[in-house]
């Protein structure tokens, strides 16, 4: 009986010690070390901070994976923007400019004239096409009513001048002269248009306004002819300066000159713009002379098909130049 009690006491003691050790192991500490409430709080805070850092790391990794997924989706051929949408966005951006709208109307006008003159054989169809040509011509006349303020502003400033390193004063003078030719052109053109389309608003008869309209149109075309001459000189001078700059840059690059650190070659877009502008001005030259002559409608210097063909070529070059400038 005594042995049995001793064994029971020993067993109970062993179980109690084993239980304390088990609790200590579960609390992640030595059985001989006591833990204060402050230490427990610090440990809980450390555990919480570690868990938070792990969550942040997981969140960052997730963001990286999402970014990779988005890049893969963008680069996927199946998610490319449709061609129609790209065309419509480019068209809206190009047509946002009033100058580009006038270019489009001019190109349509002369393209329709070419179709009417060279392709259509039936008289009725030619007359219908010519009627559309007249409507487009009238629309362009009306748009010119908005051109005087920009020309006047350019005449008072240097906004139509090129930035030149070789000929700064000359380019400023040419820019102002270019603007003043348009300041003279627009009022004369507006008056001729009103006398053509609304003669009875000013004169009771139709014969006097018609001849006066022809005279005003002739003088407006002479202002435009001066504009064309100045434009050829201005763009030719700027193109020469840009080509000299390109030649000098090529020589310095060939000789490994240290001046290349500060020198910059001319932009290809600028060179292309100047070349196309010179082509346009050259195509404008003969029609401008033709319309500047007295009685050009009665005794024409050039034939109508030849003049309109030159104007059609200019309108095509103008559209090419406008699209290239918009893209660059």
Per-residue pLDDT tens over the stretch 103-156: 999 999 999 999 999 998 888 999 999 999 999 999 999 999 999 999 999 999
Q: What pLDDT shows up at residue 237?
A: 96
- 250 and 139 both lie in a single domain: no
- C-alpha radius of gyration, the chain, whole number: 41
Domain assignment present for residue 271? The answer is yes
- 220 and 198 both lie in a single domain: yes
In a 13 Å sphere around the CA of 170, the CA atoms on its Cβ side amount to: 13
- Tell me the pLDDT of the chain averaged across its residues: 80
- 157 and 265 both lie in a single domain: yes
Better-scored residue on pLDDT, 97 or 286:
286
Look-up of token digits 């096409």: 129
CA dihedral 51, 56, 60, 65 (to 10 degrees): 40
Q: What pLDDT shows up at residue 286?
A: 97
Query: pLDDT grade, residue 259 (50/70/90)?
Result: low
Distance CA 187, CA 192 (A): 9
Give residue 296's domain range. 147-327
- 195 and 302 both lie in a single domain: yes
- 137 and 200 both lie in a single domain: no
Region 227-246: what's the mean pLDDT?
95
Query: pLDDT grade, residue 37 (50/70/90)?
Result: very low
Q: What pLDDT shows up at residue 65?
A: 57
Asked whether residue 157 carries a pLDDT value surpassing 70, the answer given is yes
In a 13 Å sphere around the CA of 253, the CA atoms on its Cβ side amount to: 9
Region 177-183: what's the mean pLDDT?
97
Domain assignment present for residue 280? The answer is yes
Domain assignment present for residue 302? The answer is yes
Query: pLDDT grade, residue 306 (50/70/90)?
Result: very high
- 174 and 113 both lie in a single domain: no
Q: Which of 19-23, 284-288, 314-318 has the lowest mean pLDDT?
A: 19-23
- 103 and 190 both lie in a single domain: no
Domain assignment present for residue 83? The answer is no
Q: Cβ(326)–Cβ(93) under 8 Å?
A: yes
CA distances from 265 to 18, 48, 155, 171, 252 (A): 87, 61, 30, 20, 11
- 308 and 159 both lie in a single domain: yes
Region 263-289: what's the mean pLDDT?
92
How would you label 271-306 residue by residue, b for 16+ Cβ within 10 Å and e otherwise?
Answer: bebbebbbbbbebbbbbbbbbbeeebeeeeebeeee
Asked whether residue 228 carries a pLDDT value surpassing 50, the answer given is yes
Distance CA 35, CA 32 (A): 10
Region 256-282: what's the mean pLDDT?
82
- Number of structural domains in the chain: 2
Asked whether residue 84 carries a pLDDT value surpassing 50, the answer given is yes
Q: What pLDDT shows up at residue 251?
A: 80
The two three-digit tokens of residue 220, written as one number: 């407006």
Distance CA 47, CA 28 (A): 13
Distance CA 27, CA 25 (A): 5
Q: What pLDDT shows up at residue 76?
A: 47
As a residue count, the chain comes to 328
Domain assignment present for residue 163? The answer is yes
Region 164-187: what's the mean pLDDT?
95
Cα 303 to chain centroid, rounded = 38
- 182 and 137 both lie in a single domain: no
Domain assignment present for residue 297? The answer is yes
- 137 and 229 both lie in a single domain: no
Distance CA 241, CA 238 (A): 5
Domain boundary among 146, 161, 185: 146
Query: pLDDT grade, residue 250 (50/70/90)?
Result: confident
How would you label 110-146 residue by residue, b for 16+ Cβ within 10 Å and e otherwise?
Answer: bbbbbebbeeeeeeeeeeebeeebeebeeeebeebee
Better-scored residue on pLDDT, 271 or 204:
271
């Amino acid at each position: 009986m005594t042995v049995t009690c001793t064994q029971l006491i020993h067993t109970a003691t062993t179980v109690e010690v084993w239980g304390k050790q088990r609790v200590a192991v579960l609390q992640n500490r030595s059985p001989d070390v006591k833990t204060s409430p402050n230490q427990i709080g610090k440990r809980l805070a450390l555990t919480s901070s570690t868990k938070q850092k792990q969550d942040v790391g997981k969140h960052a990794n997730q963001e990286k994976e999402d970014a990779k997924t988005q890049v893969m989706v963008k680069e996927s051929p199946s998610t490319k923007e449709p061609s129609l949408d790209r065309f419509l966005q480019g068209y809206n951006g190009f047509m946002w400019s009033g100058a580009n709208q006038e270019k489009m109307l001019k190109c349509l006008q002369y393209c329709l004239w070419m179709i009417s003159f060279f392709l259509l054989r039936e008289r009725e169809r030619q007359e219908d096409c010519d009627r559309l040509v007249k409507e487009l011509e009238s629309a362009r006349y009306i748009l010119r009513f908005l051109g005087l303020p920009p020309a006047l502003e350019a005449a008072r400033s240097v906004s139509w001048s090129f930035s030149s390193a070789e000929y700064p004063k000359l380019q400023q003078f040419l820019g102002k002269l270019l603007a003043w030719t348009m300041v003279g052109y627009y009022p004369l053109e507006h008056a001729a248009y009103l006398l053509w389309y609304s003669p009875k608003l000013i004169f009771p008869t139709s014969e006097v306004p018609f001849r006066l309209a022809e005279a005003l149109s002739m003088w407006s075309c002479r202002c435009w002819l001066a504009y064309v001459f100045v434009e050829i000189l201005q763009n030719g001078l700027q193109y020469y300066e840009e080509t000299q700059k390109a030649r000098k840059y090529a020589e310095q690059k060939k000789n490994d000159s240290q001046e290349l650190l500060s020198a910059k070659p001319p932009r290809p877009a600028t060179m292309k713009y100047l070349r196309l502008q010179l082509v346009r001005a050259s195509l404008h030259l003969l029609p401008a002379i033709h319309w500047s002559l007295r009685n050009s409608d009665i005794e024409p210097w050039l034939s109508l098909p030849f003049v309109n063909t030159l104007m059609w070529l200019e309108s095509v070059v103008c559209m090419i130049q406008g699209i290239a400038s918009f893209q660059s």
